[in-house]
């Protein structure tokens, strides 16, 4: 083979390696990401017969769904809908005391069409997680709140980022006490939807690298091909955040062909990896959303899939 041929082959291999990889070909929406001493874990929205799904990996490359394992089996507290809480978008953090806190959204008993955000604790990463008696955030005057995710800054301060379901579908920042459960101060608005976002923004995730905060979020409805992942940056955790553009969109290449409706991206704590979901079967949303992984780099306010 010629040197040119070898170069083209190497470039082709690099291109394939750089593309996001589908790692779970089952319905696993809204995946979150956390690394512990014994490997990687991802938690996902209710499906496959459980309230909160769990997947694991030893190397981030190959993932396994823990079939039948429910990280938060219940019972659920009185603030949740009795005949099915419909748990969405769980996210897990590890506290300094070694315990784990899960943020999740569930339908409420006061308004069974609205979700609010709850917390649950466990001594093991896999659970079982025990929900707390009161919700963390429950703005029913804003049609509820979803998509809570934890973040710890360099100085040790903890935060929860979430979105409200009001007309502006606003993304908020809530300072927390060290227990990860108790609010500590007022919320700050980070982003509101813009005309380019369609009817909503959602699914925030936050990471810091070299003094810059990177906030990812999705826009448009998940069941349309316009659904995507965008990001904004700031020099202060509370903003102001400047929009930078898309990182994932329909038509992007993966190891499984092009992707449809990618979004719900979540950072690893070091900002080197993400997981996200996309439709399993092209435009057929009835087949659910598969989980993908990708390596990324953060530099000079830019996110690159590499």
- What residues contact residue 219 under an 8 Å CB cut-off, 6+ apart? 193, 196, 197, 198, 200, 201, 202, 226, 227, 228, 230
If 0-12 CB within 10 Å is exposed, 13-18 middle and 19+ buried, where does residue 127 land?
A: buried
Is residue 206 within 8 A of residue 213, CB to CB? The reply is yes
Catalytic, 196? Answer no
If 0-12 CB within 10 Å is exposed, 13-18 middle and 19+ buried, where does residue 275 land?
A: buried
Instruction: Count CB neighbours of 123 within 10 A.
Output: 12
Catalytic, 133? Answer no
Instruction: Count CB neighbours of 6 within 10 A.
Output: 10
Q: 27, 197, 202, 266: which one is catalytic?
A: 202
Q: Catalytic positions, please?
A: 30, 202
């Amino acid at each position: 083979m010629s040197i040119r041929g070898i170069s083209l082959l190497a470039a082709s291999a690099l291109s394939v390696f750089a593309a996001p990889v589908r790692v779970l070909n089952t319905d696993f929406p809204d995946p979150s990401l956390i690394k512990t001493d014994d490997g990687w874990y991802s938690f996902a929205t209710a499906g496959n017969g459980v309230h909160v799904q769990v997947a694991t990996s030893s190397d981030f490359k190959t993932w396994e769904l823990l079939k039948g394992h429910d990280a938060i089996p219940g019972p659920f507290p009185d603030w949740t809908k009795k005949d099915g809480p419909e748990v969405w978008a769980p996210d897990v953090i590890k506290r300094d005391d070694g315990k784990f806190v899960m943020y999740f959204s569930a339908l409420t008993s006061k308004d069974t069409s609205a979700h609010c955000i709850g917390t649950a604790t466990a001594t093991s990463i896999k659970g079982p997680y025990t929900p707390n008696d009161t919700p963390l955030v429950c703005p029913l005057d804003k049609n509820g709140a979803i998509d809570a995710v934890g973040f710890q800054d360099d100085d040790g301060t903890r935060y929860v980022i979430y979105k409200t379901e009001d007309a502006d579908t606003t993304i908020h920042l809530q300072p927390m006490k060290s227990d990860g459960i108790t609010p500590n101060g007022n919320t700050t608005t980070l982003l509101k939807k813009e005309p380019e976002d369609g009817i909503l923004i959602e699914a925030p995730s936050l990471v810091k690298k070299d003094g810059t905060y990177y906030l990812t979020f999705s826009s448009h409805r998940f069941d349309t091909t316009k659904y995507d992942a965008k990001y904004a940056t700031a020099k202060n955790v509370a903003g102001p955040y400047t929009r930078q553009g898309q990182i994932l969109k329909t038509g992007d290449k993966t190891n499984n062909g092009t992707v449809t409706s990618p979004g719900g991206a979540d950072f690893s704590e070091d900002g080197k990896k993400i997981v996200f979901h996309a439709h399993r079967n092209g435009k057929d949303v009835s087949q659910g959303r598969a989980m993908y992984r990708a390596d990324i780099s953060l530099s000079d306010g830019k996110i690159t899939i590499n």
